[in-house]
């Protein structure tokens, strides 16, 4: 399983979350640092769009691990809720296209 790890202790707000995601997920320089851009970059992981450093096989899943997630819950609790919601929405999109869900969110 492909894995991207984010250091939750370093995520204190939306800006630090997007910076961490850009580095860990290999988002392009044009990444917009918004949740809409985050969704866009993770919605085509099985395509050749170069929106992240990951190119998944048809049944492969990308696990996004947020370590020290308790720190994020304190600093930016709404952020974890939004990320969880967006992961579910992205997986629904994959399902709508007849594909296996592509993301797994793990909070440690």
Nearest in space to 43 (alpha carbons), one of 82, 69, 35, 23: 35
Residue 1: per-residue pLDDT? 86
User: How many Å apart are CA 45 and CA 7, to the nearest integer?
Assistant: 22
pLDDT averaged per 10 residues, the chain (length 108): 96 97 97 97 93 95 97 94 97 94 97
Fold type of domain 2-107: Barnase; Chain D (3.30.370)
Cα 23 to Cα 10: distance, rounded to the nearest angstrom: 13
**pTM for this model (two decimals):** 0.94
Instruction: Give pLDDT, residue 78.
Output: 94
């Amino acid at each position: 399983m492909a894995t991207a790890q984010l250091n939750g202790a370093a995520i204190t707000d939306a800006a630090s979350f997007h910076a961490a995601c850009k580095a860990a997920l290999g988002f392009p320089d044009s990444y917009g640092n918004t949740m809409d851009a985050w969704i866009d970059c993770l919605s085509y992981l099985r395509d050749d769009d170069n929106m992240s450093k990951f190119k998944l096989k048809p049944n492969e899943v990308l696990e996004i691990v947020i370590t020290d997630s308790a720190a994020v819950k304190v600093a930016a609790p709404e952020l974890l809720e939004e990320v969880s919601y967006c992961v579910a929405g992205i997986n629904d999109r994959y399902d709508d296209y007849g594909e296996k869900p592509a993301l797994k969110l793990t909070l440690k």
